[in-house]
Structure 1
Amino acid sequence: MNNISLEFKEEISLLCALITGQTCMGDIYPRLKPEHFDSKPFGFVYEASVNLYNNGIPMDLTLLEEEMRRIDPAYYNEINGIDAVKDYFGLVLDGCNVRMYADHIIEGFQRRKFSTLSTEMRAKAVQYNLSMKQILEDTTLKMQQISCVGVDNSTIRQVSQIGEEVIAKHERMLQQDVHSVGLSTGLKGLDEIIGGLLPGEVPCIGARPGQGKSALALFIALQVAMSGHPVYFITLEMSLEQLYGRILLSLSEVSAANLRQHGLTVTEIEAVRNLNKTKLAELPLYIDYIPSARVEDIRSKVKLARNRNQCDLVVLDYLHQLELESDANNNHATTLGFAIKRIKDLAIEEHIPILLLSQLNRDIEKRTDSKDPRMSDLRDSGVLEQAADIVIFINRPEQQGKTKDVNGESLAGIGFLKVAKNRNGSTGITRFRYNENMTRLSDY
């Protein structure tokens, strides 16, 4: 066992990470091919795992074996199925370094190809019936092919192809009588300012604790899901039961006190059961609680959800609960900036909006002039201001003791959404209404 090469260990570590769910498949499969593996059985297992991923099928050993048998029954029997991998699970290195393992596997393939090419060129160099010009041209071509191994060319598009897709999208909008390119937030005033949630953009909702970040995000998620678009809601803070409770309070008449403290009545339980079997059963809203999640975990899960058609919008609640990669050479702001960039890259790659939630600095509480949120109030404001396409602040004056506006009108149950930044559009302020528990929102 001690004589097994590092390359072999990295190949089995990558496969183990894919099989056990610690996967960055969405990041590696466009670059890493089965033939890049030094071990042919490992390459075969990898090919089967890619097929499952592309079909949106969750990974497990049983389904993986079935796919291997389907691809090549004879070779499956020859290597004794999944046992070709299972026998080496004890050699697994750190499963979190999947992307690095993929890079090393690709590099190992390049080295083997280069070694083979060197042998070929050495033999051709003494074949005097071949012109040196032809030898050099062949060598240059093959060197270029080796250097391009692991490069994903699927992103290169001829401009007219992009145009055809844009035309087709707008034709579908006409046929479906859709009047906005972006996904509607459910609040007309907000939609009029930002134009809805647009593919490839990263909007950010900022507010102090208790102002309603999660409530607004969940409201938007429900509105998008009820319009027929699948939503992937990732919570890093609230449990699944807590989030489900908020959904119940927004869609039913159950008592908040009963749900959270005293227990539901028989009538309320029946109402919840009916809601669960009807409206919620048909709602394309998918919730995932991922404590201590790293940005690569988020990327992998979103790509898998996208493959399963479970994701036209991602909500991440909330940004500062992400577990950042520790790096002695970089400070917190730099590390957070890298994480946000990876999220922005994901939005562009998957052509979806990713809605981030962020806290505000405590300094806002110390201000004596105005407690209206500003860009500088965002926690890690420099990083977020640069990365976010849209920044929306929530302000509920009622919580600050303000009962009337400048015109003397009541501010009870009235909130303000301030679009402080909009990279591709206008900024402005709009009002909305909310109930006592901030579980139901509506237009002003």
Structure 2
Amino acid sequence: MNAEHAVLGACLTDPKAYWRVADLLVADDFAAGAHRKLYALIRDRANASEPFDAVTIHEADAHLGNLALELASSEGWRHGNVRAYAQMVTQAAMTRRIHAAGAQIARLEGSDVLGQAQQLLGACLPRHAGEVKHIREYLRASVAELQRRVNAKEAITGLPTSLPALDEMLCGYQPGDLIVLAARPSVGKTAFAIQSLVNAARHGKRVLFFSLEMTGVKIADRIQAHIAQVNAAGMKRPAIFDDADFGALFNAAAEIADMPLYIDETPALTVEALCARARQIHATTGCDLIAIDYLTQMTPPGGPKLSTADALQIITRALKGLAKELNVPVILLSQLNRDGEGHRPTLKALRDSGAIEQDADVVIFLHRPDPNRRDRLVLIVEKQRDGETGDIWLDSNYRHQRFTAIDLPVDDQPSKPQGFGRFGQRKQQGGWNGYQD
């Protein structure tokens, strides 16, 4: 309570004090009801460019004015320490919210008690965080990170994607990026995502996979087929396996068991529950990469009154915020609408693409140019916020759940094939450009 007195007393006697804590405090952070009302009145008057000293507060509200006069004349605090006092208030508020959440958690029932509990705990976080800093603060961090990369002599700065050509274009999956991987149904976006996750886990990176569509067992089946290089169909019809296949599967299972790979198979998660679970894993076991399969399988926020476009905007913004907060890449799988069927997809082919296109740092399409050639795909980096875009031709081995970059044979190249370089990429002066149908 002393910290609350100090914050309010400082704000009432020095207008600058309020603006030093305005980004950190909200009225609900105060424990006493009168303190909440007084801070809210100070906030409203400050935002309206009206004075908010004890005298003008008294003129506006005599009851609160008496409290304001008392706090303004109290002693023991300093204006220069007002932000430290505010941090004490927010810490106490978070503690109260956790205690209240604990009581609510004790009464929870239903099929997703853990998810509900994580949402309640997520709501306990401080309402605001961060502060404005001079560019030199970020410059120090930038130079330090650059020096670390120079000393480490890393070929890429992010997480390896499993495709050298894609690593070259993206410098790996970058921390803090929201990466959208989109395709029409049955093209292979889940299989490609799994290949990326397995590759990261093999490099010792801790991976969290939210599989909203497929069960954890089916994901494990695909990973085993991928590593063992056996026919994935045999996981449902093992009669087609021979002794060598079973031996490869057992070896793959032993390798997978030691991977830092975590799967949440809960269907229809809300974005709040998903983010809460990700934060929990990040805080306990650590997490280097998150993948979500897939966007429209998430329960839309806001109920039926919210349009699909608005719901997707809330989801993508929350996931971008999660990537930035945890400083990890977040791969979000999405379907393309029918604009992306039969011809080269563009950003407008993303379902309700406005929010996805705006919030994504990287947008990758998997596209099958020739429906009669299931084994031939082109990976299109359609958007990269701070880098190149371009195409990579892939050989898709669905039997083994594997994708490999290839140089496209001359006979199979699209019109105007000149300029295709390594791995089928087409590079032109001024940047990377995709082929044209």
TMscore range, shorter length: 0.5 to 0.7
Structure 1 residues 143, 282: closer, same or farther in 2, change over 3 A?
closer
In structure 2, list runs of 5 or more residues that go unmatched.
Answer: 5-24, 40-61, 91-125, 407-437
What pairs with 1:2-401 in structure 2 (closer than 5 Å)?
Answer: 106-107=28-29, 109-111=31-33, 113=35, 122=66, 134=73, 149-150=89-90, 155-156=130-131, 160-262=136-238, 268-277=245-254, 279-327=255-303, 329-365=305-341, 371-398=343-370, 400-401=371-372
Measure how far apart 1:203 and its partner are. Answer: 1.0
The separation in 1 between residues aligned to 2:244 and 2:400, in whole angstroms, is 23
Measure how far apart 1:312 and its partner are. Answer: 0.7
Tell me, yes or no, if the aligned pair for 1:416 and 1:430 is still in contact at 8 Å: yes
Tell me, yes or no, if the aligned pair for 2:27 and 2:36 is still in contact at 8 Å: no
Q: Match for 2:33: what amino acid?
A: R
The separation in 1 between residues aligned to 2:345 and 2:286, in whole angstroms, is 34
Measure how far apart 1:276 and its partner are. Answer: 2.4
Structure 1 residues 125, 212: closer, same or farther in 2, change over 3 A?
closer
Measure how far apart 1:258 and its partner are. Answer: 2.5
Tell me, yes or no, if the aligned pair for 1:114 and 1:146 is still in contact at 8 Å: no
Structure 1 residues 220, 174: closer, same or farther in 2, change over 3 A?
same
The number of equivalent residue pairs is 325
Q: TM-score, normalised by structure 1?
A: 0.63
Structure 1 residue aligned with 2:380: 418
Q: Match for 1:180: what amino acid?
A: I
Of 394, 397, 421 in structure 2, the residue corresponding to residue 435 of structure 1 is 397
Q: TM-score, normalised by structure 2?
A: 0.64
Q: Match for 1:442: what amino acid?
A: T
Between 1:379-388 and 1:287-296, the stretch displaced more is 379-388
The separation in 2 between residues aligned to 1:425 and 1:322, in whole angstroms, is 30
Identity among equivalent pairs (%) = 28
Structure 2 residue aligned with 1:9: none
Tell me, yes or no, if the aligned pair for 1:391 and 1:421 is still in contact at 8 Å: yes
Structure 1 residues 133, 357: closer, same or farther in 2, change over 3 A?
closer
Measure how far apart 1:269 and its partner are. Answer: 4.1
Measure how far apart 1:337 and its partner are. Answer: 0.3
Tell me, yes or no, if the aligned pair for 1:124 and 1:135 is still in contact at 8 Å: no
Q: Structure with the greater relative contact order (CA < 8 A, sep ≥ 6): 1 or 2?
A: 1
Structure 1 residues 133, 161: closer, same or farther in 2, change over 3 A?
closer
Tell me, yes or no, if the aligned pair for 2:211 and 2:263 is still in contact at 8 Å: yes
Measure how far apart 1:250 and its partner are. Answer: 0.8
The separation in 1 between residues aligned to 2:363 and 2:69, in whole angstroms, is 64
Between 1:170-179 and 1:189-198, the stretch displaced more is 170-179
The separation in 1 between residues aligned to 2:27 and 2:128, in whole angstroms, is 19
The separation in 2 between residues aligned to 1:310 and 1:142, in whole angstroms, is 35
The separation in 2 between residues aligned to 1:146 and 1:154, in whole angstroms, is 12
CA deviations over 1:189-227 (Å, ceiling 9, x no partner): 222222221111111111000001101111111111112
The separation in 2 between residues aligned to 1:192 and 1:350, in whole angstroms, is 24
Structure 1 residues 143, 255: closer, same or farther in 2, change over 3 A?
closer
Structure 2 residue aligned with 1:23: none
In structure 1, list runs of 5 or more residues that go unmatched.
Answer: 1-32, 37-102, 127-131, 403-411
Between 1:171-180 and 1:246-255, the stretch displaced more is 171-180
Measure how far apart 1:188 and its partner are. Answer: 1.8
